[in-house]
């Protein structure tokens, strides 16, 4: 944790490209957070999931996210993108193109197993080799976890006499994770908009190339539904069971809507991401300044529209500034500070 917070204090993440920040994390925090993972990884959420489920398809992203190491990783990614702590984890992994830390160090873990296997074949009598033999003979917890991962990756039982390919195991588990990510994010109703704009697992262009941090944050918040539009805040309001709780305040008269909400076929205009991007009259002036190509893609192909990272990022920043203006109290505090 000290390495994690030290990194956050030391860098101005707004002025740096996000892939560079990821590399700093991998160089400074990853070695510390996964130190000794060859020993304790069998007790991690990833190993336990694979040890108890009949197939990798049974792996759940929520369980992986509860692992302390991965919780630290996700916290860092959300901080980098500028989204809330309660943002769904699937779009964070997906847009950053990063897999759980323990999957990324599987090569290191099985490299250690490979060295132990070679020492055992040489009939070495060192303490670590004797402990390794005991784990195999008694089928202890560490060996069961390693064997399960090996079985999932190679479709074969672990055999000390066979050649172990650490990198191949990592790549197979990496593919298993992306398959689970793909299936779970499509089943998550909160990620309906994300599923429209996200085509495949991998680092998104806006994360790597968008120069202005505020534009990047606006883009990330819109994609991951980490915003305060009614489609999100209505989930937790008093009227969450009624459509009025998610009605667009710019397109709906609240008093009239409350009267009409008692009718059986009342269907107000919902303030969701597509409504904001396409038709909400409150942002017509901002929308009219967009290029013709982008405006047409907002209706025909939203996923393609999000590839206009610079222009769309600017537009979303202005939309959020207009929809959620800063409170006057904050402006007064700033003006007093200047005086």
pLDDT (tens digit per residue) in 47-99 = 877 666 655 555 688 888 888 999 999 999 999 999 999 999 999 999 999 99
Instruction: Tell me the pLDDT tens digit for each residue of 86-133.
Output: 999 999 999 999 999 999 999 999 999 999 999 988 999 999 999 999
- d(CA 197, CA 193) in angstroms, rounded, equals 7
- d(CA 53, CA 30) in angstroms, rounded, equals 27
C-beta separation of 95 from 227 below 8 A: no
Residue recorded with tokens 């203006």: 325
Positive or negative: CA dihedral 124, 130, 136, 138? positive
Report residue 122: phi and psi, to 5°. -85, 5
Q: Which pLDDT belongs to residue 200?
A: 92
In this prediction, residues 17-26 reach a mean pLDDT of 90
Percent share of the chain, pLDDT over 90: 47
Instruction: Tell me the pLDDT tens digit for each residue of 294-337.
Output: 999 999 999 999 999 999 999 999 999 999 987 754 555 555 55
- d(CA 61, CA 46) in angstroms, rounded, equals 10
- d(CA 99, CA 259) in angstroms, rounded, equals 49
C-beta separation of 158 from 182 below 8 A: no
Q: Which of 81, 290, 99, 103 is nearest to 178 (CA)?
A: 99
Q: Which pLDDT belongs to residue 337?
A: 56
Q: Which pLDDT belongs to residue 58?
A: 53
**Cβ neighbours of 34 (radius 10 Å):** 20
C-beta separation of 194 from 185 below 8 A: yes
Instruction: Round the average pLDDT of the chain to a whole number and report it.
Output: 86
- Is the pTM value of this prediction over 0.95? no
Kindly list the distances between the CA atom of residue 55 and the CA atoms of 12, 65, 126, in Å, as whole numbers in the listed order: 42, 19, 36
The two structure tokens encoding residue 214: 């505020």
- d(CA 63, CA 89) in angstroms, rounded, equals 11
Report residue 247: phi and psi, to 5°. -70, 145
Better pLDDT: 134 or 163: 134
- The CA-based angle 71-167-200, given to 5 degrees, is 60
C-beta separation of 223 from 94 below 8 A: no
């Amino acid at each position: 944790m000290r390495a994690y917070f030290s990194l956050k204090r030391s860098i101005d993440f707004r002025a740096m490209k996000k892939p560079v920040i990821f590399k700093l994390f991998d160089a400074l925090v990853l070695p510390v957070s996964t130190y000794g993972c060859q020993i304790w990884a069998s007790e991690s959420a990833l190993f336990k999931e694979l040890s108890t489920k009949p197939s990798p398809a049974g792996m759940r992203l929520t369980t992986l996210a509860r692992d302390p190491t991965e919780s630290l990783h996700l916290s860092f990614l959300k901080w980098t993108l500028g989204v809330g702590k309660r943002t769904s984890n699937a779009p964070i992994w997906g847009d950053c193109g990063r897999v759980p830390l323990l999957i990324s160090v599987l090569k290191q873990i099985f490299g250690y197993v490979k060295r132990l296997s070679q020492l055992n074949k040489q009939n070495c009598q060192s303490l670590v080799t004797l402990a390794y033999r005991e784990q195999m003979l008694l089928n202890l917890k560490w060996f069961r976890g390693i064997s399960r991962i090996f079985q999932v990756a190679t479709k074969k039982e672990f055999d000390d006499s066979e050649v172990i390919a650490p990198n191949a195991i990592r790549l197979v588990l990496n593919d298993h994770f992306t398959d689970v990510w793909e299936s779970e994010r499509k089943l998550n109703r909160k990620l309906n908009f994300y599923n429209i704009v996200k085509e495949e697992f991998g680092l998104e262009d806006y994360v790597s190339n968008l120069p202005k941090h505020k534009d990047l944050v606006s883009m990330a918040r819109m994609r991951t539904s980490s915003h305060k539009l009614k489609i999100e805040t209505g989930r937790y309001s008093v009227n969450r069971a009624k459509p009025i709780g998610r009605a667009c305040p710019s397109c709906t008269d609240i008093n009239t809507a409350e009267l009409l909400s008692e009718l059986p076929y009342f269907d107000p205009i919902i303030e969701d991401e597509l409504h904001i991007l396409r038709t909400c009259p409150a942002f017509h002036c901002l929308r009219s300044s967009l290029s013709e190509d982008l405006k047409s893609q907002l209706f025909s192909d939203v996923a393609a529209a999000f590839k206009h990272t610079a222009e769309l990022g600017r537009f979303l920043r202005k939309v959020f500034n207009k929809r959620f203006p800063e409170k006057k109290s904050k402006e007064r505090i700033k003006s007093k500070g200047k005086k």
